[in-house]
Structure 1
Amino acid sequence: MNVRKDSGGMGIIYFAWHGKAQERAEIKGLLKANWRRFAEKVLDESITVGLNRVSRMWMRDDLFVCFALPQERKDMQEERLLEIGNDLQLDWEPRFMDAAFGGRVPELRLHAGVSFLDGAIASEEERLYDGIKRAIVHGQSTGAAERSLKRRELEQILEERLIKPVYQPILALQQDGDTLYGYEALSRLPGSRWFDGPLGMFQFADQEGLTYALDRLAREKAIEGCTGLSNGRKLFINITAKIMNDSSFSPGQTLLLLQRYGLSPHHVVFEITERTSIEDFDAAKRILQHYRNQGYQIAIDDAGAGYSSLQSIVELKPDFIKIDRSLISGVHLDKMKAHLVQTFSDLAAKMDVKLIAEGIEEHEELRYIRDLGVQYAQGFLLGRPEPFGE
């Protein structure tokens, strides 16, 4: 591979097949017979659609492709290189499998890793060796290029505070007319390329060790966005159980932020999601007691859909239990769901805890849960999430 220094920058992409399927003799043989011919053919095609000054090198069955990047900012070059690597991996993997094996092969994946060739290294040989080594390291995990692109977007979201808060009304159910009790703050990602919604973003942040940073940003944006919250109205803010195990978690930051926007802890209910388990109830109770001492209230979210709803309710003694919409949807038609909601209602009454039914979408559901004694409700029937004041 002949590599020429270029003022626009040079990128290298490493391609290699990984997976236990290669231990099978027939798969290994078909890879050996077809992979190099396939890659050379599609590379020749790719040169005509935007890759400039392409050179290539094979190390056994591992392919290294080097090409020139256009002159632009370094961060844009990095993103372009990752996008090319990701696009080629997503294109080549199914095409090759269809051609060589007649379809997908379980436990066989094409890995792609990328790197820049460091212009500060004077020796062309050393420069190439360094780039190859870094590309191999980057490509060790499945979907490495896509993961890097997601990480870049998440870091941009955190740095530029790109989360947009919306608020879904929660109504107090009364026989003579329902009244507004408060709002649940939710996060939205306008224009996100790599995350199809906040759930996927939070799951990825968890994988990348950025749960606390993202949770804090969502909490701050929720508070900033509801300036003018009426006295007596409640703001329900989601927090994940995992952040209570984070050594950098500082409950006092929320209090300072509330004061800055003219709010107090008495406005806020923290919803602890039940979609992740609480590993240390003693630690969780200590942190929540710190909150309670300041005037906050606590809700268990997604009750009935998580790992340990009843244990969380018993251990944490929340002020509110939010019944997951999976139990509310069609509750008037499903006796088992009705029995479960009734059980939550009986338990809440004995513990002096308030119930909130989530996901109300039909008038029949609303009438039914009101008759069961559920005190509060939210859902599309009652109001969709909107920016505050709309």
Structure 2
Amino acid sequence: MRRPSIARQESMCSDQDGPTGIIYVAWHGKGKEREDVKAAIHNRWRRFAEEAISEQQEIVSGKMSSVWMRDDLYICVQLPHEGPDFLEELLLELGNRFKEDWECRFMQAALGGRIAELNLHTGISFVERLLPGCYDDLWYEGMKRAIIHGQSPSAPERSMRLRMFNQLIHGRQIYPVYQPIISLQNGTVYGYEALSRCPDNRWFTGPQPLFAFAAEEGMLYPLDRLARERAIEESAGLARGQKLFINITSQIIEDPSFTPGQTRGLLEQFGLSPHNVVFELTERSSIEDFGVAKKILDHYRNQGYQIAIDDAGAGYSSLQSIVELQPDFIKIDRSLIRGIHHDSMKEHIVQHFTELAAKMGISIVAEGIEEEEELSQMRAMGIDYAQGYLLGRPQINIGRA
């Protein structure tokens, strides 16, 4: 990367007292190789960007100016005197705003519509107060950091998601709701499934996107641990003998960071024991090593915990998981329960699970009961337990309607 001239940098930043943000903006992708795209970027991109910066200047408190290196743009933003976390978030917001707005507007204006293989990349960095004689090195390093950050087209969005994820974890903002599990033999509440929730925010629309992001970033363990802790901490109202069903994923039990034994101390702190807890192992992701999984789950069983296979019938290896892990409960996925009274094939599949469970001494929980006919069918088939909106919606407090 060729360094821009020191004089050019001094002229635009010498009047700034405080940190300066750098937002790298450049077009990437195979679409850039097209002759019409090359011509549009060469002839219209600089004018478009300068006008767009002027528009943004009206809503950004700090002064903005530009440095061009061919068709790559570096937007320099005068930043307030705040901590690095605040400054990073401010720059990420700006970078993400520029990408979302300018990418669409420029391609529509200059190329007549969206080009799938063409993307606007943005990356950010910030430089502390510049000292006389140090402009060249500091700016050059800041520009390099912004370029590296902007290598991925989704860098600002990913960084914002990561910041929000860390805020949720460090602020312990994950919270549980509890859905009752009803005994179909006597109609009593057998236990509750703890379901994780997070506050409304622009980056995660619910728990599923949050857990998916954690898995992608290799941060599933801290999220799972927090969800487990919060489920126990808020479980006041659980009656003697009732069960607390807590979800864990197959990735967690194979994670080298997973350390069995941490949950027991927390249970004792809140007047519970392992006999109150059923760990639900989701079937929506495959188990790579049944030997490792069985060893860890046996460790839990020896302490008094019970194990459930969740989402059975919707995953990759339901029968193998049941045979290999020999759970205490099989939770039949709602996709097999929904409309079962109208679908003989679903009935055959659920009956198969029921017969297998009976031979192995395993209890069945039917998930997603929403109609009286579904509930009647479950009773007729001899299903042990059921949960669903018909029987009780998830609530913040255990035992409260």
Code of the residue aligned with 1:80 in structure 2: it is L
Structure 2 vs 1, CA of residues 33 and 346 (structure 1 numbering), >3 Å: closer, same or farther?
farther
CA-atom RMSD in angstroms: 1.8
Q: How does 1:25-104 map to 2 (within 5 A)?
A: 25-50=35-60, 52-104=62-114
Within the candidate set 222, 227, 233, 1:224 is matched to 233
Is residue 253 of structure 2 the alignment partner of residue 244 of structure 1?
Answer: yes
Residue 226 of structure 1 aligns to a residue in which SS?
Answer: coil
Per-residue CA deviations over 1:13-72 (Å, capped at 9, x if unaligned) read 111222233344444443334322322221222222325322112222211100112344
Q: Which residue of 1 aligns with 2:369?
A: 360
What displacement does 1:230 show? Answer: 1.5
Q: Residue in 1 aligned with 2:244?
A: 235
Q: Which of the numbers 141, 163, 167 marks the counterpart of 1:152?
A: 163
Q: Secondary structure at the match of 1:85?
A: helix
1:165 aligned onto 2:183: no
Unpaired segments ≥5 residues, structure 1: none
Distance 1:118 1:280 in 2: 49
Secondary structure of 1:130's aligned partner: helix
- Residue 355 of structure 1 and its aligned partner are, at CA, apart by 1.1
**CA offset digits 1:275-299 (Å, max 9, x no partner):** 2211111100100010011111111
Say if 1:198 and 1:167 are closer, same or farther in 2 by CA, change over 3 A: same
Residue 140 of structure 1 corresponds to 151
The equivalent residue for 2:6 is: none
Unmatched runs of 5 consecutive residues or more in structure 2:
1-8
Supply the distance in 1 between the matched residues of 2:390 and 2:353 (Cα, whole angstroms).
22
Q: Given that residues 8 and 72 in structure 1 are in contact (C-alpha distance below 8 angstroms), is that contact kept between their aligned partners in structure 2?
A: no
For residues 85 and 34 of structure 1, what CA distance do their matches in structure 2 show? Answer: 21
**1:107 is aligned to 2:120:** no
| Among 221, 232, 237, the residue aligned to 1:212 | 221
Question: What TM-score, normalized to structure 2?
Answer: 0.92
In structure 2, what is the equivalent of residue 325 of structure 1? 334
Q: Which amino acid aligns with 1:326?
A: S
2:119 partner amino acid: R
Structure 1 residue 194 corresponds to structure 2 residue 194? no
Cα distance in 1, alignment partners of residues 41 and 313 from structure 2: 48
Counterpart position of 2:32: 22
* 3-state SS in 2 of match to 1:58: strand
Q: Please state whether the residue corresponding to 2:74 is helix, strand or coil.
A: strand
Listed one character per residue, the Cα deviations across residues 136-187 of structure 1 (whole Å, up to 9, x for unaligned) are: 111111221111111111111111211111110000112xx41100000011
Once the two structures are TM-superposed, the CA of residue 191 in structure 1 deviates from its matched residue by: 3.5
Q: How many residues end up aligned between the 2 structures?
A: 388
Partner Cα separation in structure 2 for residue 367 and residue 167 of structure 1? 24
* 1-structure distance, mates of 2:168, 2:50: 39
Is 2:194 the counterpart of 1:185? yes
Change (3 A) 1:374 1:57: same
Separation in structure 2 between the aligned mates of residue 7 and residue 267 of structure 1, nearest angstrom:
60
1:278 aligns with 2:270: no
Aligned-pair CA distance for 1:335: 2.3
Q: Distance in 1 between matches of 2:17 and 2:396?
A: 46
Instruction: Summarize the Cα distance change of 1:280–1:28 in structure 2 as closer, same or farther, 3 Å threshold.
Output: farther
Q: Counterparts of 1:149 and 1:202 in 2: how far apart (Å)? A: 16
Mapped partners of 2:111, 2:343: distance in 1: 47
Is this contact kept in 1: 2:192–2:244, CA < 8 A?
Answer: yes
CA separation in 2, counterparts of 1:23 and 1:151? 33
Q: More deviation in 228-237 or 48-57? A: 48-57
Identity %: 59
Alignment TM-score, normalising by the size of structure 1: 0.94
Check conservation: 1:237, 1:268, Cα contact below 8 A: yes
Distance 1:32 1:309, change over 3 A: farther
Q: 1:275 to 1:31 in 2, by over 3 A?
A: farther
Contact 1:21 1:107 in 2 (8 A): yes
Instruction: Name the aligned partner's letter for residue 342 of structure 2.
Output: L
Tell me which amino acid in the other structure corresponds to 1:193: R
Contact persistence 2:278–2:306 (CA under 8 A)? yes
Map 1:255-334 → 2, pairs under 5 A: 255-334=264-343
